Amino acid sequence: MGRAPCCDKANVKKGPWSPEEDAKLKAYIEKHGTGGNWIALPQKVGLRRCGKSCRLRWLNYLRPNIKHGGFTEEEDNIICSLYISIGSRWSIIAAQLPGRTDNDIKNYWNGRLKKRLLGRKRQNNTCRYSSSTSHDFNKVGTDEESQNATLSNSSLERLQLHIQLQTLQNPSSNYYTDPTLRPKMTTPLLSEKLAQSLQLLDENQHNLNSVSSNHLPKTDPGSVSLEYYARSIMAEASHIPEGEENYLGTPRMDDSAVSNNHNRQSFMKRNTGEFGYYNDHEAGNIARDDLMAWWPSDEGGEMKSELGFSWGSTTGNIFPADQGIFGGLGSSGSLCGITQYKS
């Protein structure tokens, strides 16, 4: 038994909105507001539309200060970074881009940005994953369906796939020391940041083995790879002030934090998408449920894990977590190893 429909489907108009409908809805909301009840709104406005349809039309098209098209390079960078980091959380991504709607960003990503970033699915039977390290995906597996399924995964999964393929094709390859094995990022800025971060990791990779915490899993370097840096970059990039584009990979501390040698943690709130920082000594006060869950469980179960970033001069400066928070490692203030731990 399903739930009751939100409106009378038989008597509701569907399809594109006419200018008259737009004008009616816009005029009413501008004068009276939504009244906090979209379902009741169409009747008040005098529209034969579903309340959900009105809401969508208002939010995506009619409300003031909406921008359509003409995405800037900066916006591209933000979208790419966030998508790599958090996946298709369009509403959260949209929250970082004033005037943009989740629908717009989703369309832009699916229609253009993804293709630009990842290349076409296939071109002459190959996947143009990276211009410098293109792979023939037909070499991996023979089942057409499974290939398509793989190729339609998120960019993050594709990045992981890239790494896996590298490992499969060349088990002795070292992802950390051989730049040719790393996928290229779309934009020069992001690419540069990634390179910086990876370089810092190269220098500090040994720290991964020096964490003393029972909470940390053993870390397979192959699994602590690109996604962590991409995620780090995303979190960092969102806070880079204008004119300070190169600060990534160095500690972001305020004066007191520096003088007290306190490390800082970045976080992203689950509901608002808000980014923030707090110092180590505050970590225990953070409502863990507020934090973003970043990692889906392996087999499609609920998302349980959370991700913390940390950096600074100490190693293993982990949240006081007993169920699913991770160690970050730092050396010379760099963002480097970040370790996942699932509860």
Partner DNA sequence: AACAGGTTCAACCGCTTTTAA
Partner DNA sequence: TTTAAAAGCGGTTGAACCTGT
Binding-site member from 23, 32, 44, 112 for DNA (CB under 7 A): 112
Instruction: Give the x-and-dash track for 119-138 against DNA (CB under 7 A).
Output: -x------------------
List of E strands, the chain: 264-268, 275-279, 293-295, 305-306, 309-311
Rg from Cα positions in the chain = 23
Closer residue to DNA, CB minimum distance, 258 or 303: 303
Minimal distance, residue 50 CB to DNA, in Å: 7
Binding-site member from 75, 76, 104, 236 for DNA (CB under 7 A): 104
Instruction: Give the x-and-dash track for 166-205 against DNA (CB under 7 A).
Output: ----------------------------------------
Q: Does 90 bind DNA (CB under 7 A)?
A: yes
Q: Does 28 bind DNA (CB under 7 A)?
A: no
Closer residue to DNA, CB minimum distance, 122 or 239: 122
Q: Does 56 bind DNA (CB under 7 A)?
A: yes
Which residues, 6 or more positions from 307, have their beta carbon under 8 angstroms from its beta carbon? 231, 292, 294, 295, 325, 326, 338, 340
Rounded CA-CA distance 202/214 in Å is: 25
CA atoms within 13 A on the CB side of 33: 3
Q: Considering only residues 232 through 291, tell me which ones interact with DNA, judged by CB under 7 A.
A: 271
Which residues, 6 or more positions from 332, have their beta carbon under 8 angstroms from its beta carbon? 200, 203, 204, 313
| Helix axes 155-169 and 226-237, enclosed angle (nearest 10) | 150
Q: Which residues bind DNA (CB under 7 A)?
A: 2-4, 6, 13-17, 34, 36-40, 49-53, 55-57, 60-61, 68-69, 88-92, 102-104, 106-108, 110-112, 115, 120, 271
